[in-house]
Amino acid sequence: MAPPKIAIIGAGPAGLTLARLLQASSIPCTVYEAELNRHARTQGGCLDIHEGSAQVALRECGLYDQFLAVARTEGEVLKIYQPDGTLLLDEGSDYGERRPDSFNGRPEVDRVDLRNMLIDSLEFASLKWGHKLTAVKTDASGARLQYDLHFQDHVETGFDLVVGADGAWSKVRHIITDTRPVFSGISGIDVKYSDIETADPALAKRVGNGMCLTLGSHTTVLSQRNGDGCVRSYGFMRLPEDWHTTCGIDWTKPEEAKRQFVNRYYNGFNDDAKNLMLDADNDVVPRPMYMLPIGHRWLHRAGATLIGDAAHLMTPFAGVGVNVGMEDALELAHAIIACKASWEEAQPFSNVSGLSTAIRQYEESMFPRAEGYARETWMYLNLFFNQRGGHAMCEYFARAKEQEKAAAEGQKSEIAVEKAITVE
């Protein structure tokens, strides 16, 4: 067999899922990752893993049981507070309107656990750490279309397929489209409160086991419990793109930076909301949020494609990014695996057009799917950052639940009619 030479750029959830699925079907591939090793960077908070997408991918990866061992169903609950501390919704205690039923079946997993599980499932030496891609270039020397990968200190040659799974600022995207991420209008800080359980048990209880949103007018504190017990909070609001460099806050002095940030932007928020940021660890990351234009698509280019954030970067406000990315990996893997029979006999790999057709099909089905999620994400962004604070989101949930109920009633009456017809 002469398979295509496949490079996957980026060892995030999307790239690792694709590599695992290809290798499980005996299709060789190499993952190139910029970071030096799996511990090089803290991997951030937790992700909710949805039933219909990421969970399906994990099942096909043969990792579902491992996932269940680290998944936290208790992390699914949501609380919404007003800035003065009034509780608007508490799914843990059935207080207020709950989210629509479509939010069920989304257990939380720490990003680091998900990534480690996928890394450990790969074939030995198929993941190359410390390979920061700087450019992909066409190799014109051979008889067929191939690509060279330019890394910071060397070049690797002769790839039949390059998959960009290299996230928001993808370098692979540069050979496919001129489109770049745009600022979403939302910025702020990212902090982690490590010892909240011992330092402030009452505040830890206020957050609960899942998500705790304090929603003011266009200004928020979004907190989330992680598997190790810490609480990660995002102080996000509507701000200009260059705010973090022009606001005059010195981010190298975290204690003072947190104090200035909270004093300047959180008037009218009670101490609980403020302390989630003020008492957090002395490590503050300013985080302007970017997105690709909704409906981003490109003209197919043979031998190169994108998955995950590289293809459709979204803000995190619908909590779908990793799920869409892992679904991309699943669909692309299916497309490539379906071609496999056509390259069994050929020596060397020759079915460039067959592979290209399969990848084009993946792209054509991914574009509308990703666009739907991007629209949902934009809708949620405008609910999180709303003049009417948490009321806007609670009212939306109530309406959505009504619609779900009406749809279920409609289905029931359709079934009843069908039964009546069958009986007649």
Footprint on this chain of ligand FAD (rule: CB under 6 A):
9-15, 32-35, 47-48, 131-133, 165-167, 171, 308-310, 316, 319-323, 325
Give the 3-state secondary structure of residue 245.
Answer: helix
Shortest distance in whole angstroms from residue 43 CB to ligand FAD? 9
Nearest to 50 by CA among 69, 20, 24, 71: 71
Handedness of CA 218, 384, 79, 198 (dihedral sign): negative
Phi/psi at 10 (5° precision): 110, 120
Q: Which is nearer to ligand FAD, 54 or 335 (CB)?
A: 54
Q: Which is nearer to ligand FAD, 107 or 321 (CB)?
A: 321
Shortest distance in whole angstroms from residue 414 CB to ligand FAD? 33
Shortest distance in whole angstroms from residue 172 CB to ligand FAD? 8
- The Cα 90–Cα 73 span in angstroms is 16
Number of other residues whose CB lies within 10 A of the CB of residue 309? 28
Shortest distance in whole angstroms from residue 290 CB to ligand FAD? 9
Q: Which is nearer to ligand FAD, 273 or 311 (CB)?
A: 311
Q: Which is nearer to ligand FAD, 66 or 226 (CB)?
A: 226
Helices (H), 78-223: 111-120, 196-199, 201-207
Q: Which residues contact 168 (CB under 8 A, 6 or more apart)?
A: 181, 290, 309, 310, 313
Shortest distance in whole angstroms from residue 151 CB to ligand FAD? 8
Give the 3-state secondary structure of residue 152.
Answer: coil
Nearest to 162 by CA among 139, 129, 130, 179: 139
Q: Which is nearer to ligand FAD, 289 or 339 (CB)?
A: 289
| Inter-CA distances, 352 with 143, 182, 252, Å | 11, 34, 51
Number of other residues whose CB lies within 10 A of the CB of residue 279? 16
Shortest distance in whole angstroms from residue 288 CB to ligand FAD? 11
Q: Which is nearer to ligand FAD, 323 or 356 (CB)?
A: 323
Number of other residues whose CB lies within 10 A of the CB of residue 285? 15
Q: Which is nearer to ligand FAD, 33 or 200 (CB)?
A: 33
Give the 3-state secondary structure of residue 247.
Answer: coil
Shortest distance in whole angstroms from residue 371 CB to ligand FAD? 15
Q: Which is nearer to ligand FAD, 39 or 144 (CB)?
A: 39
Q: Do 250 and 161 touch, CB atoms closer than 8 A?
A: no
Shortest distance in whole angstroms from residue 190 CB to ligand FAD? 6
